[in-house]
Amino acid sequence: KEELIKYRFFNRIGCQPIFSVLICGASGIGKTEVARILHRELSPNEPVIKINFGNYSTQDALNSLIGSPRGYIGSSKGELTDKLQHSKSKVILIDEFEKAGKPVYNFFLQMLEDGRFTDSLGREYNLNKYIIIFTSNMSKENVGQYIPPELRSRFSCKFSFGLLSKDEKEAYIEYKLKQYSEQIMNSYENICESDLENVVSIDVSKYQNIRDINNEIMRQLAQSLYDKIVNNSEGS
C-alpha cells in the first residue's frame, strides 16, 4: 500500500509511468495471488492479462510476446499485444520471469524506463498507470544469476516471499471458504449458509503449497455437498 501511494504521487507529476514489482519465492505461496487480488479490485470485469514464460521457448520468446517482424515466417501476433487489445485491465502478470532470456529482459528494461513500447508491426502501446507484477520461483539469493542489475534497478520494489506460517495458512482457508461460499450460494438455490458451516477441516501442518490447500478445500466442499449438487443437476 505504501509503495502504491508513493507510485501514484510520482506518477501524477510525470516521473514514474509504471509500477513494477518483482516477487520471488517457492511455488504455491501466493506470488500470483498478489496480481489476481489487484486485478479483482481494479478491473474485476476485464480479462486477466497474464504472460507465462514457462510456456515460451527461449529462442522465440520476444516474438511470442510482441509479435514476429514483418516477413518472418509464422504468426505476427504477440501474446502481450493481443491481450492488451482485448482487456482494459491495468494489471499485467508476468509469470516465471526467470525463464524469459536476454532479449526479453532488454525489452522490459526499455519498457519500464519509458512506460511504452512498440510491437513488431510498429504499433505503440502506452502503459502509463499500469501495474506489472513479475513473479519467479527463484530464491532471492539467485536473482543475480538470472536478472541483470540494470533491469533489477528498474523495478519499483522487490519482494521475497517465505513459506507460509500456520496462522497465514488458516487465514487463507477462511478467506477461500468465504469466497467459495458466496459463489456456491449464488449458483445453487438449494444450498444455504448452514450447509456450508463446518464442512471443511484441514490440518495445515501437512501443506506448504497454497494450491494443495485450495485443492483440499474444493475436495471437501464437493464431498460434503455432493447430494445437493447431484439433485440440483437432475432438477435443472
For the record, the C-alpha cell of 235 comes out as 432438477
Q: Do both 54 and 122 map to the same domain?
A: yes
Q: Do both 116 and 148 map to the same domain?
A: yes
Res 57: pLDDT: 79
Q: What is the mean pLDDT of each run of 10 residues along the chain (236 residues)?
A: 93 95 92 91 95 86 85 70 95 94 94 94 94 94 91 95 92 93 91 91 93 94 89 64
pTM, full prediction = 0.83
The residue segments making up the domain with residue 202 are: 166-235
Examine the fold and report which residue of 114, 140, 160 is the final residue of a domain before the chain moves on. 160
Res 189: pLDDT: 86
CA contacts within 13 A on the Cβ side of 203? 2
Q: CATH number for the domain including 45? A: 3.40.50.300
Q: Do both 210 and 103 map to the same domain?
A: no
Res 120: pLDDT: 86
Q: Do both 108 and 156 map to the same domain?
A: yes
